[in-house]
Structure 1
Amino acid sequence: MKFRHRPAEEPEINLIPFIDVLLVILIFLMLSTTYSKFTELQVSLPTADADNLKDRPREIVVAVSADGRYVVNSQAVEGRAVELLSGALSQAAAGNSEITVVVSADAAAAHQSVINVMDAARRAGLSRLTFAAQSNPR
């Protein structure tokens, strides 16, 4: 008996399903990267036209430096604790809860420093609070 030796068939890889999967992934990535720019948080900080500072006897000016130090009505507050700042605000208010607290914070001051001033004013019973701003250069 003579058996013929059949040549071994090379396995054939069907690329059509592979290409379909890659196209679906490509379309998904294209759509998701297109919409990613719309989900970013765009923050444009406002500017203010500030009036000239008027001398008002019923206000307490709290200055916040860039490194987090506080000054209440030209008197430096020793330390950076909210309790110390609250005590200084209570002393400056002298029991009058109708006084307005003006927060004059440096542009480079930490957000937490400004929040500490707001918290100290609340603890001192001062509910009127405003923020100082510079006028825009024209």
Structure 2
Amino acid sequence: MNFRRAVRHEEPEINLIPLIDVVLVIIIFLMLTTTFTQTSGLEINLPTAEATGDEAVSNEIVVAVTAAGDVIVNRNPVADKGIEAIAEALGKARPGGQKEPVVVINADAKAAHQSVVDVMQAAQRAGLAHITFAIQTPPR
């Protein structure tokens, strides 16, 4: 007595549809959670130091910002703290024969950030593209 029926050997089958579903869900999750940040920076062109000391000084406009927010351009105080007044003072301090003077900002450590930004905006309005900051290194 043979109780076995005819045994059929079915070929194994790999179903790819669930795999594709899982991969698509992972891709959608990654697309939604990925952050695309665009960092904006301030482009500052620093001068090169190949010139002699006298030439480098004559090509600079020194701007000092005090802790109280007062602005001094080439040792001449600016009466108004507004951007237009600072831009006018920077335009007057611009050397005649030099093409691209460098604006050196000497800001007090306790000066308001807005005061320094105002000087930078005034330099932009006066057509001065080269800006650098003077810092003091701590003693070792």
User: What TM-score do the two structures reach when normalised by structure 1?
Assistant: 0.59
CA distance in 1, matches of 2:119, 2:100: 17
The answer for the alignment partner of 1:110 in structure 2 is 112
Q: Contact between 1:97 and 1:125, CA under 8 Å: does it hold in 2?
A: no
Match of 1:120 among 122, 132, 137: 122
Runs of at least 4 residues off by over 4 Å? 94-97
Q: Report % sequence identity.
A: 49
Kindly provide the amino acid, as one letter, of the partner of residue 75 in structure 1: N
Instruction: Write the mapping of 1:89-104 to structure 2, written as runs, cut at 5 A.
Output: 89-94=90-95, 96-104=98-106
* Larger displacement relative to structure 2 (86-95 or 62-71): 86-95
Deviation of the 1:122 alpha carbon: 0.2
Instruction: Write the mapping of 1:45-124 to structure 2, written as runs, cut at 5 A.
Output: 56-94=57-95, 96-124=98-126
Structure 1 residue runs of 5 or longer lacking an equivalent are: 1-53
**Deviations 1:72-104 (CA, angstroms, capped at 9, x unpaired):** 000000010000000000000045450000000
Kindly provide the amino acid, as one letter, of the partner of residue 116 in structure 2: V
RMSD: 1.4
Deviation of the 1:135 alpha carbon: 1.6
User: What TM-score do the two structures reach when normalised by structure 2?
Assistant: 0.58
Deviation of the 1:129 alpha carbon: 0.2
Matched residue SS, 2:63: strand
* Cα pair distance change 1:94/1:126, threshold 3 Å: same
CA distance in 1, matches of 2:129, 2:105: 13
Kindly provide the amino acid, as one letter, of the partner of residue 116 in structure 1: D
Q: Contact between 1:63 and 1:71, CA under 8 Å: does it hold in 2?
A: yes
The count of aligned residue pairs is 85
Deviation of the 1:137 alpha carbon: 1.1
CA distance in 1, matches of 2:99, 2:123: 10
The answer for the alignment partner of 1:38 in structure 2 is none
Matched residue SS, 2:57: coil
Structure 2 residue runs of 5 or longer lacking an equivalent are: 1-52
